[in-house]
Amino acid sequence: MFFPKVATLLSKYKEKNLLYAEKTLFLQAKTQTIKFNIKQTMKVLKFGGTSVGSVNGILSVKKIVEAEVEPVIVVVSAFSGITDELYKVANLACEGNKTYVAQFDMLVTRHMEVIDGVIADNKKTEVINLVQTQFTDLSNIFRGVFLIKDISTKIIDTIVSYGEVISSIIVANAITNAVHFDSRTFTKTENQFDKHIVDFEKTNHLIAESFSTLPQISVCGGFISTDRNTNFTTNLGRGGSDYTAAILAAALHASILEIWTDVDGFMTADPRIINNAYVIEKLSFIEAMELCNFGAKVIYPPTIFPVFHKNIPVKIKNTFNPEAEGTFISREKTGEAGKAIKGISSINDTSLITVQGLGMVGVIGVNHRIFRILAKNGISVFLVSQASSENTTSIGVRNADSAVAVEALRKEFDYEIAQGEINDIFSEDDLATVAIVGDNMKRTPGIAGKLFGTLGRNGINVVACAQGASETNISFVTDRKSLRKALNVIHDSFFLSEYQVLNIFVVGVGTVGGSLLNQIKKQQTKLMEQNSLKLNVVGITSSKKMLFLREGIDLETYAEDLKTKGADASPEKICNEILNMNIFNSVFVDCTANLHISNLYQTFLENNISVVAVNKIAASSSYEEYINLKETARRRGVKFLFETNVGAGLPIINTMNNLIYSGDHIQKMEAVLSGTLNFIFNTISSEIPISKAILMAKEAGYAEPDPRIDLSGKDVIRKLVILAREAGYKVEQEDVIKNLFIPDKYFAGSLDDFWKTVPELDAEFEEKRKALTAQGKRWRFVATMENGSCKVGLQEVDSTHPFYDLQGSNNIILITTERYNEFPMMIKGYGAGASVTSAGVFSDIISIANIR
């Protein structure tokens, strides 16, 4: 009587090309023992809340399950969000808040809508009645809670069980020929420290009994259970449906446990935090256990043990993309070549308790007492760190356990504390723990170095760390606000093969800032394709509005978005926002000429944010401030770049730096550094008086927003001071000797006054210009530095001078060094203009990304 079943099994196996199974069955058939020996293989498939929370989800589940060849047990969660809702409604009812009724009704409606979409018409009434009966009971319980305004754990456990009870009834009736089981009848727990612990002996026995004849498709709810003594409803903890599935798989020797969820598999990191996390093809049980113990929500941590114990592989699959391979978890040790770690996970709920004191050194039994007392209070410790000096033991626990743990430890060590042998015991709360995991870390030197080096470079402080001798996990504790950044930099450092991300804040969207954003927009795709560099503009600020977006601002629409969605901006707000964002690999680009913005650089550098400045104020301010900024950048391992401070996009500072790195020594510099002044002197003619030339320079976008900064020589002085400093000389602005061409009184009033009075200069200048032209000479505003002595002023140059032919707004610099001596090095080209300046900024940004 078994043979027809074997025959159908065989043909189905053939279809699936499972040759091994076919061979086994043949062998068994041949030896005529088939009747007795065939141990029917079966699978357990668990579908999470997101998989069953919608009509589409349940229809996918139905399709997946009905296509199975082997008998399957389907374990389902409550619809997504329902367990949370049930807790919420219970709370409202307990507070005597009438709105619980409306919330409850919404919950009922959601289930009824799904029933309508997934249950065949001829079964609808039956299923609605079944579910309605459950909701009536539940509503009575809520009414009781509302009237009494009190609730117990027992009642809460009963309330939340309805999520799985109801979802499993719906799914069982949506799948053709499925048989419904109530998992409370076979999952038994006992109470330990107010936690429900599975009684495996009873549970396994009851499972074997319940499934002694295995239907092709069985459906039951996960998570829910009953107390072995009282038979009251209990549960296996949040996320516990995975565990129910694993318990069933282990008890029934399933061929595989499949966890169906809403992502393509177990990923290198939490995809909600790391958007370029990717699916891990294979994991060992140990790796999976380490990762989910530390917060990889995709599997509830206790799930691994029962299947590991029975060597039943686990597959993580996506209900909404069943074609994706998913992740295979087995005993097999696997490793992608060149990758030492498999994944990163974290918990943002960490409290660190430190037991410390010189009296602990060499004393036997202190740790024993710590752990005994914590165990006695039911506190689970997930990280321990003790220095070899033995005077400090730090323990990582959940925030919720911290107060009880501190209390218990203080009591345990009250004598030693009173004697001063142990310091008072305290906890540091609101921390986060991160773990990097991989079997391949074993005996691979340098992993810890790389991890802590990466964290250090990014300004992330490590409060405690631990690595077990198994070498499959290195964990560290940091403050919670650094968690996201820590995960990003570690992920980038260990996995990011595909591309590198540079997060950019652009402040100032005037001529240069606007042009820069345009250039970034144009280059984004190319840089990604050719250099695997993702330029992600995460903040844009005008003088009035600011916009921040971690995922990246759309550069097509930023101007509009800034207006419509931007918040009011101020230097302080910008600073706070950027620090709060705490984003990795970030660079602050200052395209303003604002002192308050340049005052923020020090803070940013201190926080490991690189600074690229078009703004010259910082580099030309006091020598002390300049050196401080450079020193901070060096110390924090980030960059402070300001190439465009001198000569716009011309590579002057970079070239000087390179000369100095190679051991050369800069002795002298002669330069025309003001695009504006050069433009003005090249534009003045009998038709264009100086006042008009100034206006033209402004309109062409060469001049500073306030052109007096150019005309007074201030701009050139700033540039010369920056150059002299970069050449290695300690120079202040006051040290520069000035020979100006516009009398001081024109700079005294307001900008308006200036524009009104400046035409007074026209006639005199025209006189002088005529005389100069007659001599075959031209004016150039020249900056000179010789062994640290600086001066700026108007010079008359004849046609033999290299500056004579300097066109338009061009700049030129002659650099005399030990090596470039007889013939100085000459750099010449556009020295002003939005597009060349922003290109210079772009090049600073790219050099931070280090792809050149």
Catalytically active residues are: 719
Stretch that binds ligand ADP, among 66-74, 268-276, 358-366, 539-547 (CB under 6 A): 268-276
- What residue 50 binds from ligand ADP, Mg ion, ligand ASP, none (CB within 5 to 8 A, per partner kind)? ligand ADP
Strand-pair partners of 465? 476
- What residue 240 binds from ligand ADP, ligand ASP, Mg ion, none (CB within 5 to 8 A, per partner kind)? ligand ASP
Q: Does 261 bind ligand ADP (CB under 6 A)?
A: yes
**In angstroms, what is the minimal distance from the CB of 99 to Mg ion?**
28
**In angstroms, what is the minimal distance from the CB of 262 to Mg ion?**
10
Name the residue nearer to ligand ADP (CB basis): 80 or 204.
80
**In angstroms, what is the minimal distance from the CB of 385 to Mg ion?**
30
Name the residue nearer to Mg ion (CB basis): 57 or 508.
57
For helices 200-210 and 241-251, what crossing angle results, to 10°? Answer: 70
Spatial separation of the C-alpha atoms in residues 778 and 682, rounded to whole Å: 8
**In angstroms, what is the minimal distance from the CB of 213 to ligand ADP?**
29
Spatial separation of the C-alpha atoms in residues 458 and 364, rounded to whole Å: 39
**In angstroms, what is the minimal distance from the CB of 615 to ligand ADP?**
41
Residue 634, C-beta contacts closer than 8 angstroms, at least 6 positions apart: none
Spatial separation of the C-alpha atoms in residues 329 and 221, rounded to whole Å: 23
- What residue 457 binds from ligand ADP, ligand ASP, Mg ion, none (CB within 5 to 8 A, per partner kind)? none
**In angstroms, what is the minimal distance from the CB of 272 to Mg ion?**
13
Instruction: Give the amino acid at 381.
Output: V
- What residue 566 binds from Mg ion, ligand ADP, ligand ASP, none (CB within 5 to 8 A, per partner kind)? none
332-351 footprint of ligand ADP as x/- string (CB under 6 A): -----------x--------
- Give start and end residues of each alpha helix (H) in 413-471: 414-419, 447-457
- What residue 263 binds from ligand ADP, Mg ion, ligand ASP, none (CB within 5 to 8 A, per partner kind)? ligand ADP
Name the residue nearer to ligand ASP (CB basis): 49 or 649.
49
Name the residue nearer to ligand ADP (CB basis): 9 or 249.
249
- Give start and end residues of each alpha helix (H) in 662-807: 675-683, 690-699, 708-711, 714-726, 751-757, 762-774
Name the residue nearer to ligand ADP (CB basis): 261 or 488.
261
* Residue 31: both structure tokens together: 């030896």
- The H or E element containing residue 586 is strand 586-590
Q: Does 237 bind ligand ADP (CB under 6 A)?
A: no
**In angstroms, what is the minimal distance from the CB of 539 to Mg ion?**
35
Q: Does 270 bind ligand ADP (CB under 6 A)?
A: yes
Q: Does 239 bind Mg ion (CB under 5 A)?
A: yes
Buried b (16+ CB within 10 A) or exposed e, 467-485: beeebbbbbbbbbbebbbb
Give the number of other CB atoms < 10 A from CB of residue 287: 26
Q: What is the sign of the dihedral through the CA atoms of 213, 219, 223 and 228?
A: negative
Confirm if 439 and 468 have CB atoms less than 8 A apart: no
Interface with Mg ion in residues 489-528 (CB under 5 A): none
**In angstroms, what is the minimal distance from the CB of 50 to ligand ASP?**
9
The C-alpha torsion from 196 through 192 and 300 to 275, rounded to 10°, is: 120
Spatial separation of the C-alpha atoms in residues 160 and 154, rounded to whole Å: 10
Number of residues that bind Mg ion (CB under 5 A): 2
φ and ψ at 438, to 5 degrees?
A: 175, 135
Interface with ligand ADP in residues 296-325 (CB under 6 A): 296-298
The residues of the shown chain that bind ligand ASP, judged by CB under 6 A, are 48-49, 77-78, 83, 163, 222-223, 238-242
Strand-pair partners of 782? 793
Confirm if 409 and 370 have CB atoms less than 8 A apart: yes
Q: Does 267 bind ligand ADP (CB under 6 A)?
A: yes
Name the residue nearer to ligand ASP (CB basis): 85 or 710.
85
Residue 485, C-beta contacts closer than 8 angstroms, at least 6 positions apart: 458, 460, 582, 583, 584
- What residue 163 binds from ligand ADP, ligand ASP, Mg ion, none (CB within 5 to 8 A, per partner kind)? ligand ASP
Q: Does 163 bind ligand ADP (CB under 6 A)?
A: no
Three-class HEC string of 54-106: CHHHHHHHHHHHHCCCCCEEEEECCCCCHHHHHHHHHHHHHCCCCCHHHHHHH
| Cα–Cα nearest to 646, from 694, 678, 614 | 614
Confirm if 671 and 786 have CB atoms less than 8 A apart: no
Stretch that binds Mg ion, among 233-241, 564-572, 736-744, 814-822 (CB under 5 A): 233-241
Name the residue nearer to ligand ASP (CB basis): 171 or 395.
171
- What residue 271 binds from ligand ADP, Mg ion, ligand ASP, none (CB within 5 to 8 A, per partner kind)? ligand ADP
Q: Does 50 bind ligand ADP (CB under 6 A)?
A: yes
Q: Does 266 bind ligand ADP (CB under 6 A)?
A: yes
CA atoms within 13 A on the CB side of 731: 27
For helices 82-94 and 100-118, what crossing angle results, to 10°? Answer: 150
Stretch that binds Mg ion, among 33-41, 46-54, 415-423, 631-639 (CB under 5 A): 46-54
Interface with ligand ADP in residues 767-806 (CB under 6 A): none
**In angstroms, what is the minimal distance from the CB of 118 to ligand ASP?**
19
Spatial separation of the C-alpha atoms in residues 235 and 238, rounded to whole Å: 8
Name the residue nearer to ligand ADP (CB basis): 319 or 645.
319
The Cα-based distances of 80 to 52, 86, 189 in angstroms read: 7, 11, 25
**In angstroms, what is the minimal distance from the CB of 266 to ligand ADP?**
5
Name the residue nearer to ligand ASP (CB basis): 87 or 746.
87
Name the residue nearer to ligand ADP (CB basis): 435 or 465.
435
SS3 769: helix
Q: Does 262 bind ligand ADP (CB under 6 A)?
A: yes
State which residue has the least CB distance to Mg ion.
239
SS3 236: coil
Q: Does 745 bind ligand ADP (CB under 6 A)?
A: no
The position carrying tokens 């903890």 is 237
Q: Does 295 bind Mg ion (CB under 5 A)?
A: no
Q: Does 435 bind ligand ADP (CB under 6 A)?
A: no
**In angstroms, what is the minimal distance from the CB of 272 to ligand ADP?**
5
Confirm if 429 and 414 have CB atoms less than 8 A apart: no
SS3 312: coil
State which residue has the least CB distance to ligand ADP.
48
Spatial separation of the C-alpha atoms in residues 120 and 619, rounded to whole Å: 74
Confirm if 233 and 184 have CB atoms less than 8 A apart: yes
Name the residue nearer to ligand ASP (CB basis): 242 or 726.
242
**In angstroms, what is the minimal distance from the CB of 300 to ligand ADP?**
7
What does DSSP say about strands 640-641 and 737-739: parallel, antiparallel, or unpaired? Answer: unpaired
**In angstroms, what is the minimal distance from the CB of 75 to ligand ASP?**
9
Instruction: Give the amino acid at 767.
Output: E
Q: Does 77 bind ligand ADP (CB under 6 A)?
A: yes
Q: Does 429 bind ligand ADP (CB under 6 A)?
A: no
Spatial separation of the C-alpha atoms in residues 466 and 489, rounded to whole Å: 19
Give the number of other CB atoms < 10 A from CB of residue 685: 12
Name the residue nearer to Mg ion (CB basis): 292 or 533.
292
SS3 267: strand
Name the residue nearer to ligand ASP (CB basis): 241 or 488.
241
- What residue 286 binds from ligand ASP, ligand ADP, Mg ion, none (CB within 5 to 8 A, per partner kind)? none
Residues engaged in binding Mg ion (CB under 5 A): 48, 239
Residues engaged in binding ligand ADP (CB under 6 A): 48-51, 77, 80, 239, 261-263, 266-267, 269-272, 296-298, 343
